A and B are shown apart, each in its own frame.
Chain A
C-alpha cells in the first residue's frame, strides 16, 4: 500500500465517497433522459461511470485499510426536520460497508461489461443501461447510508430496479408477473422493515445506524421489551424477503425471467445479499431469540432450496435455488453470531455465483443462436437439450467447473473457506445450546452434500454426455426428428466469441480460488477480509461462552474437512456419473411424487396462492360488494326512505294543507261572483252608479254634520 492516509486528507475522502455514490446516479439520470439519443445508446456512459465508481471505491478502501484499522468515514447533513424527527442523510463507512462497496462496484463492472455483449440488439437497450445504473446507485446507497431510513429508501429503490429488470421483456406475461410477485413479496418484507424502523424510532428516537448499534436492548428505560423483538423481527422479515429466505423465498426462482446478466448481478451476487448485509450491519440490535429463529429458518431454507434444486431442469432455476440455499447459509452465519463468516461467504458467493450465472447466460446465448440457426423447437434453458457442450465451449466449461467447485466447497476453493467458517461457528453455537439445536449444523452439513449433488448433476447434464439438441421436447406433437442433422456438428461460427463476455468470466474465475482470501487453504481465521471485519465491528451483543475446548473445535474442524474433502467429492462423482447419460423428458403424470413435490418447490407457491392471494382477492371482492350493496345500499335505502317520506308529505300537502287553502279560495271566489254582478259593462250605468254614490256621500255629509 503506497497510498498513505496523509495523501488523502479527510475532505478528499469525502469527495471520493461522493464520486463512488454519485457517478452511477448521474449515469442513471443522463441515461433515462438521453439514453436513446446517445451513440451506442449510452452503454459506454453507464460502464464508465461504474468504472469511475469502482476505482474510487477501491482507492477509498485501500486508503482506509492501509491507515488505522478503526477508521470510519462519516458524513451527514440534516435532510428532513419535522418536530422531533431530524433525519440525517449521509454515509457511514466502516470496513463492512467498504468491502461491500468494492464488491458491488466490481461485480457490477464485470456485469456491465458482460451485458454489452449479452444484450446487444435489444430494442430497449438504452433502458437496460438506465435500470442498471439505477440499481447500482440504489445498492450503493443501501451499503453506504448512515441512516436507517435512508437505507430503507434505497432498499426500496433496489426493489424497484429489480422489478423493472425482471419484467424487462415486458411483452412476456410470465416476466411481468414475476416482477410483480417479486415486488409485492419484497413489499411484505418492507412492511416488516418499516415496522422495525418505527419500533426502533420509538425506542431510541433516532435512525442513525451507529447510534442504533450502541443501543443495548433491555438497557435503560427505552420502553417495553417487546418493542425490541418487534424491531428485530421486522428487520429480519425485511432481510428475509430481500434475501429470499423461507417463507418469503418464492419470488427468486420466478425472477429468473429477467435477463441472465441481471440474474447474475441483482438476483445472485448483490441485491439478494442486501438482507444479509443489513442484518450484519445491525447485528448488535438483535436479541438472541431472534437470532436463533434466523439461524433455524436459514438452515431450513438452505435445505429446502437445495432439495428443490435437485430436480430442476431449467439451467437458471437450478442456480436460483442454489442461490437461495447459499443465502440460507449466510443467514445461518448471522443467526449463530458469526456475521464475519456470513459476510465472507457473501463475498465468495458473489464471485462464484455471478460467474456461474454469467456462464449459464453464455450457454443460453449459444443455445439460442443454435436454436435459430437450426430452426429447432427447444427451450434454450432446458438442460435436457444440452449435453456435451465442453467440446464446443471449452472456456465456459473451465470457468463453470471452477465456479461449481467453489460452490460445492471443495478444498482449495473460496467456497470452502467461507462455508467451513459458517459451519464451524454453527457447531460451536449448537454445542453451547445443546439438545435439538444440534440438528441445525448437521442439517446444514447435509445440505452441503445436496449442493454437491445438484451442481454435479447440472455440470454433467450441460457439459458431458452427448448433445441432446435433437431430443423431442415434452408434450405431444413437438417431436423433432433427430435424424435431420448431426447433433455433434456444431454450426460454424458459433464459437465463444466476444471478449466483453469472456473477460468478466475469466476474471471471476480467478477469484474462486482460496489464495485471494486466505493464505491458509483450510482455515479462514487469518483471512485479511475477516480480520478487517472483526477489528472494526462492535462486539456482538451476546458473548457466546467458548463451548468447546480447543480439542473439540479441532475435532469438528477436522471432520468438516473430511466431509468436504472426501464425502463431497464422492457425492459429486456419483451425481456426475448418474447424469452424464441421456436425460429423457418425463411426462408430469409419470413423475415420482417426491420428485414432483420437489420440482414444485414443496408446493409453497400453490399454498401461498391458496391461503393468501385468493383470500385477498376474495376480500377485495367482498369489499366491493359491501361498498356497492351495503354502504351504497344503506344510502339508497335512506334515499328511498327520504323519497317515501317526501311523497307522504306531498300527499298531506296536497290534500290537507292545500285543501284548506283551496276552500278559502273557493269562499273568496263566491264572494267575488256576487260582486261582479255589478259589472255590466255599460259606461252609462257605471256613471249612474257613481253619481248615486256621490249623492249618497253628499247626503251623508249633509246630515251627519
Chain B
C-alpha cells in the first residue's frame, strides 16, 4: 500500500486550520466558533499523527473532547445569562 506522502497531510491540516480560523473569526454564533476551534485543534492533531506522535494525538483527542464539554457548558451558562451566544454582543471585557 502506497504511503500517503507527508505533504498531503500538511496541506490538509493547513486547510483545516484555515477553515477553523475563518470560522473563529467570522461566525456570529459561539457554537460555530467552537466548531472552528475544534477544526484548528484537529489540524494540529493531524500534524501530530503525520509526524508520528500517536500517543500525544490520543491525549489531545481526549482533551479536545473534554474541552468541548466544558466549552458547551460555558456557552449554556453564557446563554442563560445574556440570552445570546453572539460573541460580538458580549463585550463586558471592554474597558
Where the two chains meet, the residues of A that have a C-beta atom closer than 8 Å to any C-beta of B are: 676, 679-684, 687-688, 691
Contacts and interface: CB of A to CB of B under 8 A. Distances in A.
Contacts of B33: 684
B18 to A, nearest CB: 12
Contacts of B24: 684, 687
A683 B87 contact: yes
Contacts of A676: 95
A680 B94 contact: yes
Nearest to B37: A687
Contact of A681 (B21, B25, B91): B91
B2 interface: no
Interface string B56-95: 0000000000000000000000000000000110111111
A574 B37 CA distance: 145
27 contacts: A676-B95, A679-B93, A679-B94, A679-B95, A680-B91, A680-B94, A681-B90, A681-B91, A681-B92, A681-B93, A681-B94, A681-B95, A682-B87, A682-B88, A682-B91, A682-B94, A683-B87, A683-B90, A684-B24, A684-B25, A684-B33, A684-B87, A684-B88, A687-B24, A687-B25, A688-B25, A691-B21
A213 B81 CA distance: 113
B11 to A, nearest CB: 19
Which of A679, A680, A681, A691 lies at the interface centre, i.e. has the most chain B CB atoms within 10 A of its CB? A681
Contacts of A683: 87, 90, 93
Which of B33, B87, B91, B95 lies at the interface centre, i.e. has the most chain A CB atoms within 10 A of its CB? B95
A504 B21 CA distance: 134
Judged by DSSP, the binding face of A is helix
A688 B22 CA distance: 10
Contacts of A682: 87-88, 91, 94
Give the contact-size bracket for chain B: 10 to 19
A631 to B, nearest CB: 63
Contacts of B91: 680-682
A680 B87 CA distance: 12
Contacts of B94: 679-682
A688 B26 CA distance: 10
Contacts of A681: 90-95
Contacts of B88: 682, 684
Interface in B11-42: 21, 24-25, 33
A683 B94 CA distance: 10
A611 B94 CA distance: 92
A684 B95 CA distance: 16
A667 B33 CA distance: 40
Given A683-B93, A684-B24, 19 more contacts: A676-B95, A679-B93, A679-B94, A679-B95, A680-B91, A680-B94, A681-B91, A681-B92, A681-B93, A681-B95, A682-B91, A683-B87, A684-B25, A684-B87, A684-B88, A687-B24, A687-B25, A688-B25, A691-B21
A676 B93 CA distance: 11
Contacts of A691: 21
A675 to B, nearest CB: 9
A385 B51 CA distance: 143
Contacts of B93: 679, 681, 683
Contacts of B95: 676, 679, 681
Nearest to B94: A681
A679 B92 CA distance: 10
A583 B92 CA distance: 118
Contacts of A687: 24-25
Nearest to B33: A684
Contacts of A684: 24-25, 33, 87-88
A563 B26 CA distance: 149
A681 B21 CA distance: 19
Nearest to B91: A681
